[in-house]
Amino acid sequence: MDIDDGDIGACLSNEMPGGEKMGSMGFWCDGISQSEPSKDREETDDDDEEIDRSKKGSTSESACVPGRAPFFDHPPTDTCVGLKTERLKIYTPAVCKNGTQAALALYTSRGCSSDPSFVDLEDEEENLNTCLDVEGMGSFAFYCTGEGIERDTPLKPENGKQTGGSILHFFLILLLIIMFFFLMLVLSVWAWVRKYGGSVGRLVELVKGFLKRDGGEIAL
């Protein structure tokens, strides 16, 4: 059957003209005519390995949040995607270049910088169109070869410590504190000069007044 504009958004009957009930459906790219494959298509079958069959997946996190409208992401294969919630619904897995379905790789860190744990969506159909529990995970990717997965955070060194960055941050904070107190000192002096008319002699007289004794002698 052809789909008219009026059929979009409408509920179609599943009863065929002969009274038989339809049990399945599919979208045909060649239209409703079921013709034999052309010679050109038969010739291209030998080059199947060179054809890029990759497709983007379809996922949504907001679909698992009660009361929120679902917003969809369409990540390609071997691309890191950050997680914002602890629930993830996969409507359509991504397809690899060779036509096989990609596996779901979950990472505890953001940027896919940790070791992945895999979920084979092809063998576990119950994971599709259901809200998966991804608590404790920071990112995911539709994994085909793993090459080219974007990492938006640097990998940790082998010893698990980043001493260079920590020391640099410490000195930077210390420098900011020193600059802050120096600025406060300058502002205080400037305020005093404005208050007393900018007289340096007045400042000297005040200092001498504190140093003088009752007898007029200067304390050494």
Minimal CA–CA distance to 64: which of 131, 133, 141?
Answer: 131
Strand order in the sheet with 87-92: 58-60, 87-92, 131-133
pLDDT tens digit string along 23-46? Answer: 888 877 766 555 555 555 555 555
| 169-188 mean pLDDT | 87
Distance CA 68, CA 71 (A): 9
| Mean pLDDT over each residue of the chain, to the nearest integer | 76
Burial 137-173 (b: 16+ CB within 10 A, else e): bbbbbbbbeeeebeeeeeeeeeeeeeeeeeeeeeeee
Q: Is 87 helix (H, G, I), strand (E, B) or coil?
A: strand
pLDDT bin (cut points 50, 70, 90) of residue 127 is low
pLDDT bin (cut points 50, 70, 90) of residue 172 is confident
Q: How many helices (H) and strands (E) does the chain have?
A: 3, 7
| 101-123 mean pLDDT | 86
pTM value?
Answer: 0.47
* Cβ count near 206 (within 10 Å): 11
Residue type, 192: W
Which of 60-64, 95-99, 171-175, 194-198 bottoms out in mean pLDDT, i.e. has the lowest? 194-198
Distance CA 162, CA 110 (A): 17
pLDDT reported for residue 157: 39
How far, rounded to the nearest angstrom, does the alpha carbon of residue 67 sit from its chain's CA centroid? 23
More confident residue, 29 or 84: 84
